[in-house]
Amino acid sequence: MHSMKNYFLLFAALYLTACTNSNTTGIATKKTASAPGKDSTAVDTTSYANQKPADAATIMARPQVPILCYHHIRELQMPARASSGYEVTPASFKAQMKILADSGYHSVLPDQLYNYLVYGAPLPPKPFMITFDDTDEEQFSIAKPEMDKYNFKAVYFIMTISINRPRYMTKEQIRQLSDEGHVIASHTWRHDRVDKYLTTPHIDRDSKKTIDNDWDLQLVDTRKKLEEISGKEIHYFAYPFGIWSKAGIPEIRKRGFKLAFQLSTKRDPEEPLYTVRRMIVSPTWSAEGMLRVMKSTFGKE
Ligand SMILES: [Zn+2]
């Protein structure tokens, strides 16, 4: 037994050395070498499997990574003050990506955030995260080309009911995002609030089928679909409307999700991984204003 263990440790050490000394992913280095965000998506291949995960208090004490949340990237349907608050114009989005790159920010992805929060893994300087909710087509056609200029990578929280519908992304677009290093994640099937989910068999109001419980319908079935489309495992989840409930967190955890993203309410000090905060970018903000709010909301860089 003893020698087996030593052999394993030796193997693990060699494996770690090999992985940390070379960038075998290719994802981050394919783009132009001069892009400001060139290292932002370098995948940390360190294995944290044998490390002890941090407790909730340690996770809460780590500086938060600013996380931006976008919905529609389009011309405002009404004057900004009367807007739903879920719109950012293409020009604003363009200016926001530029100021972030010019200011030296690096986009990070959920695996990096998870390893940082749980194992204290290093992040690039000035880390931030870009997230999109609700599957809108312009998140692909307008937002992606702007992010491509700086090699920023984002997280797309997809509600699977909308895939292939008019004004939403197609399967092929989602696949392309995944292939290009963006992260596909779950935003449920039908965007129902998680605090209303039933955990006993009932007839679904749309499909009229009897289902065992809403958690499986909204999280497990959608994950399977997103894994088929993206060709990658799905580990991350965003609450519809940002609404989370303490009772729901064990349901999400036991279904294998590693982080769950809300909007702007306080994190739960006992469950920081399932109450990760984000900030909706307002239609009225200038690019400079957005940076100021980002810093004040999530603390000093
Ligand atoms: Zn949503």
Residue-wise pLDDT tens digits, 132-153? 999 999 999 999 999 999 999 9
Burial class (CB in 10 A: 0-12, 13-18, 19+), 99: middle
In a domain, 177, yes or no: yes
pLDDT, tens digit, 9 for 90 and up, residues 8-52: 443 344 333 333 333 333 333 333 334 444 444 555 667 887 899
> How far is residue 106's CA from residue 39's CA, in Å, rounded to a whole number?
8
CB count in 10 Å sphere of residue 137: 17
Kindly give the distance from the C-alpha atom of residue 231 to the centroid of ligand 1, in angstroms, as a whole number.
Answer: 23
The count of domains in the chain is 1
> How far is residue 35's CA from residue 64's CA, in Å, rounded to a whole number?
25
- Do the strands 106-107 and 127-133 form a parallel or antiparallel pair, or are they unpaired? parallel
Longest dimension (CA), the chain: 71
In a domain, 196, yes or no: yes
> How far is residue 153's CA from residue 39's CA, in Å, rounded to a whole number?
11
Cβ proximity of 276 and 261 under 8 Å: yes
Mean pLDDT of the chain: 86
Strands (E), 28-107: 67-70, 72-73, 87-88, 106-107
Kindly give the distance from the C-alpha atom of residue 178 to the centroid of ligand 1, in angstroms, as a whole number.
Answer: 19
Kindly give the distance from the C-alpha atom of residue 135 to the centroid of ligand 1, in angstroms, as a whole number.
Answer: 9
Domain of 82, CATH number, reads 3.20.20.370
Kindly give the distance from the C-alpha atom of residue 106 to the centroid of ligand 1, in angstroms, as a whole number.
Answer: 25
In a domain, 80, yes or no: yes
Kindly give the distance from the C-alpha atom of residue 29 to the centroid of ligand 1, in angstroms, as a whole number.
Answer: 32
Mean per-residue pLDDT, 155-177: 97
Integer-rounded Cα radius of gyration of the chain: 20
pLDDT category at 4 given cuts 50, 70, 90 is very low
Kindly give the distance from the C-alpha atom of residue 131 to the centroid of ligand 1, in angstroms, as a whole number.
Answer: 11
Kindly give the distance from the C-alpha atom of residue 146 to the centroid of ligand 1, in angstroms, as a whole number.
Answer: 22
Which residue would you say has higher pLDDT here, 125 or 81?
125
Kindly give the distance from the C-alpha atom of residue 290 to the centroid of ligand 1, in angstroms, as a whole number.
Answer: 21
CA 276 to chain centre: 10
Which pLDDT score is estimated for 83?
72
Which residue would you say has higher pLDDT here, 205 or 290?
290
Kindly give the distance from the C-alpha atom of residue 69 to the centroid of ligand 1, in angstroms, as a whole number.
Answer: 10
In the numeric block, which tokens belong to residue 74? 């389009």
The residue whose two tokens read 């349907």 is 77
Which residue would you say has higher pLDDT here, 74 or 11?
74
In the numeric block, which tokens belong to residue 110? 């959920």
Mean per-residue pLDDT, 246-255: 96
Kindly give the distance from the C-alpha atom of residue 1 to the centroid of ligand 1, in angstroms, as a whole number.
Answer: 51
Mean per-residue pLDDT, 165-187: 98
- CA 22 vs CA 11, 13, 42, 65, 256: distances in Å: 17, 15, 11, 26, 30
For the chain, the residue count is 301
Query: For residue 127, what are the β-bridge partners?
Result: 106
Which pLDDT score is estimated for 19?
36
| Nearest one of 32, 152, 30 to 97, comparing CA atoms | 152
pLDDT category at 299 given cuts 50, 70, 90 is confident
Kindly give the distance from the C-alpha atom of residue 36 to the centroid of ligand 1, in angstroms, as a whole number.
Answer: 30
In a domain, 36, yes or no: no
> How far is residue 273's CA from residue 276's CA, in Å, rounded to a whole number?
6
In a domain, 6, yes or no: no
Cβ proximity of 280 and 263 under 8 Å: yes
pLDDT, tens digit, 9 for 90 and up, residues 83-113: 778 999 999 999 999 999 999 999 999 999 9
Helix (H, G, I), strand (E, B) or coil at 188: coil
Kindly give the distance from the C-alpha atom of residue 187 to the centroid of ligand 1, in angstroms, as a whole number.
Answer: 7
In a domain, 18, yes or no: no
| Nearest one of 159, 189, 164 to 71, comparing CA atoms | 159
Kindly give the distance from the C-alpha atom of residue 239 to the centroid of ligand 1, in angstroms, as a whole number.
Answer: 7
In a domain, 251, yes or no: yes
Cβ proximity of 187 and 261 under 8 Å: no
Kindly give the distance from the C-alpha atom of residue 158 to the centroid of ligand 1, in angstroms, as a whole number.
Answer: 8
The answer to which of 1-10, 150-159, 192-201, 236-245 has the lowest mean pLDDT is: 1-10
In the numeric block, which tokens belong to residue 38? 């060139």
Kindly give the distance from the C-alpha atom of residue 207 to the centroid of ligand 1, in angstroms, as a whole number.
Answer: 21
Kindly give the distance from the C-alpha atom of residue 169 to the centroid of ligand 1, in angstroms, as a whole number.
Answer: 14
Kindly give the distance from the C-alpha atom of residue 214 to the centroid of ligand 1, in angstroms, as a whole number.
Answer: 17
pLDDT category at 82 given cuts 50, 70, 90 is low
Cβ proximity of 128 and 66 under 8 Å: yes
Kindly give the distance from the C-alpha atom of residue 48 to the centroid of ligand 1, in angstroms, as a whole number.
Answer: 32
Which pLDDT score is estimated for 55?
97
- Do the strands 279-280 and 210-211 form a parallel or antiparallel pair, or are they unpaired? unpaired
In a domain, 246, yes or no: yes
Q: Domain containing 223: what range?
A: 65-298
Q: With 70 as the cut, is the pLDDT of residue 200 above it?
A: yes
